[in-house]
């Protein structure tokens, strides 16, 4: 299993090109199941989760052609309507094939998914939504079995669905399914994330009728079929945020290219509050810091609030900032697993239920640590960049799920990170 060796106390300077967003690319790749025509995508990041999704789509029967800059998908012929456990066990986003398969082919069998162990992400909201649209669903031996064969023409029927809590994958799954349903579907309490909007914009290019993207109420008017389209995947907000925090922590100056500042406003506001200088230009953001930061309090919440996927990185920053801070996690109940690893490096952190209390210091030391999930892995890399001595990070396959060429990009701006097989 690969591991990273990170040399500490390195300042970062230079330019970073931000990759396409994993959390946008995954559902957009899966949306290819909704049409028999070709979907051509650009700016798709080269990540383990992308490969997993491609394997799943290939198993279902999607033809995939790739070149250096694009991926072409054709779901003209589908061989299977089931997503087996072996193909979905490492990635929770696999549940997203349920909506498109059910909507286009009238039935689907999808294994309950796996992924990062950061807490309960129940699929009951997805299931209740499909049932409201007329589907018959039962769960048997770890599989969700769904059918609309009893409905007229075997099609889902539009419905008003009020989701109990904001869920990105739930919004995406139901939105995709509703594009081919009979009549109008209204999603209340829908997710507002830019990645949801990106998926919606791709579906609109394919011929879907969708109103209200970016609001709490999304309306989808079902159509007979969707067509082929070309779409560029949006930039990765979390990758951009990770590099910006790294520059702030280490004391340096970097420019992130290919970003839209309005989509990471909550992150930029907290970096400014910590004392970093931010310069915003068209599709690029420059951050400058002397490394002398102030600790910042934060509470995670759905977009446009502070993203849970940046919580671990900011906690790492707070460990080396001046003053005490509180980090409150309101999205996932088990997203503090990186805390024990940061403590191994000398961090002063106490946990009380969903609140972490951090007493800042500038004395982290290199240690052997273990990544527990994707964003926890990133927080350990950031802490290691500021620590005295070398840090060895094990189980970095988590990083490969969500960061394209992480060590290469960091090394280009002054870090010294070595991957050991």
Residue positions annotated with a catalytic role: 116
- The secondary structure of 321-340 as a DSSP string is SBSEEEEE--S-TT--THHH
SS3 174: helix
- The string over 90-99, giving b where at least 16 C-beta atoms fall within 10 Å of a residue's C-beta and e elsewhere, is bbbbbbbbbb
Distance (Å, whole) CA 123 – CA 171: 11
Q: How many Cα neighbours within 13 Å face the side chain of 359?
A: 6
Contact between 382 and 313 (Cβ < 8 Å): yes
CA dist list (Å): 22 to 19, 27, 48, 176, 339: 9, 9, 10, 18, 25
28 contacts: CB under 8 Å, gap ≥ 6: 41, 198, 199, 202, 231, 233
SS3 84: coil
Distance (Å, whole) CA 304 – CA 99: 26
Of the candidates 407, 39, 351, 325, the one whose C-alpha atom is nearest the C-alpha of residue 205 is: 39
User: ∠ at Cα 273 (406, 381), nearest 5°?
Assistant: 20
SS3 252: coil
CA dist list (Å): 31 to 40, 203, 210, 341, 375: 11, 8, 14, 38, 26
Rg (CA), the chain: 22
Where is 121: in which H helix or E strand? none
- The string over 328-354, giving b where at least 16 C-beta atoms fall within 10 Å of a residue's C-beta and e elsewhere, is ebbbbeebbbbbebbbbbbbebeeeeb
| Helix boundaries (H) for 106-229 | 124-132, 168-178, 194-205
User: ∠ at Cα 61 (102, 22), nearest 5°?
Assistant: 75
Chain centroid to Cα 56, Å, comes to 18
């Amino acid at each position: 299993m690969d591991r990273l060796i990170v040399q500490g106390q390195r300042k970062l300077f230079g330019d970073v090109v931000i990759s396409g967003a994993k959390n946008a690319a995954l559902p957009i790749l899966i949306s290819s199941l909704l049409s028999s025509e070709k979907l051509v995508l650009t700016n798709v990041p080269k990540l383990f989760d992308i490969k997993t999704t491609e394997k799943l789509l290939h198993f279902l029967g999607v033809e995939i052609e790739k070149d250096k800059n694009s991926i072409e998908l054709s779901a003209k012929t589908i061989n299977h309507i089931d997503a087996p456990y072996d193909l979905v066990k490492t990635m929770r986003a696999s549940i997203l094939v349920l909506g498109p398969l059910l909507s286009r082919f009238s039935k689907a069998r999808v294994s309950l998914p796996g992924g990062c162990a950061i807490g309960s992400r129940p699929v009951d909201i997805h299931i209740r939504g499909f049932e409201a649209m007329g589907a018959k669903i039962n769960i048997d031996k770890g599989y969700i079995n769904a059918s609309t064969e009893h409905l007229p023409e075997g099609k889902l029927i539009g419905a008003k669905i009020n989701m109990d809590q904001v869920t990105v994958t739930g919004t995406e799954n139901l939105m995709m399914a509703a594009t081919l349903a009979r009549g109008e579907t209204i999603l209340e309490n829908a997710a507002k994330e830019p990645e949801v909007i990106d998926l919606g914009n791709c579906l609109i290019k394919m011929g879907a009728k969708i109103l209200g993207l970016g609001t709490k109420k999304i309306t989808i008017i079902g159509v007979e079929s969707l067509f082929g389209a070309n779409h560029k995947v949006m930039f990765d907000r979390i990758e951009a945020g990770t590099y910006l925090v790294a520059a702030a922590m280490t004391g340096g100056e970097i420019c992130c290219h290919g970003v839209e500042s309005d989509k990471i406003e909550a992150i930029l506001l907290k970096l400014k509050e910590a004392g970093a200088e931010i310069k915003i230009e068209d599709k690029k953001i420059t951050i400058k810091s002397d490394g002398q930061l102030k600790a910042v309090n934060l509470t995670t919440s759905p977009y446009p609030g502070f993203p849970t996927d940046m919580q671990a990185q900011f906690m790492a920053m707070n460990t080396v900032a001046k003053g005490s801070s509180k980090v409150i996690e309101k999205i996932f109940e088990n997203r503090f697993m990186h805390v024990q690893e940061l403590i191994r490096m000398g961090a002063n952190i106490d946990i009380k239920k969903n609140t972490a209390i951090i007493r800042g210091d500038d004395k982290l030391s290199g240690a052997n640590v273990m990544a527990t999930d994707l964003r926890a892995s990133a927080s350990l890399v950031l802490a290691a960049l500021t620590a005295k001595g070398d840090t060895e990070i094990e189980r970095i396959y988590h990083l490969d799920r969500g960061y394209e060429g992480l060590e290469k990009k960091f090394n280009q701006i002054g870090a010294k990170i070595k991957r050991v097989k």
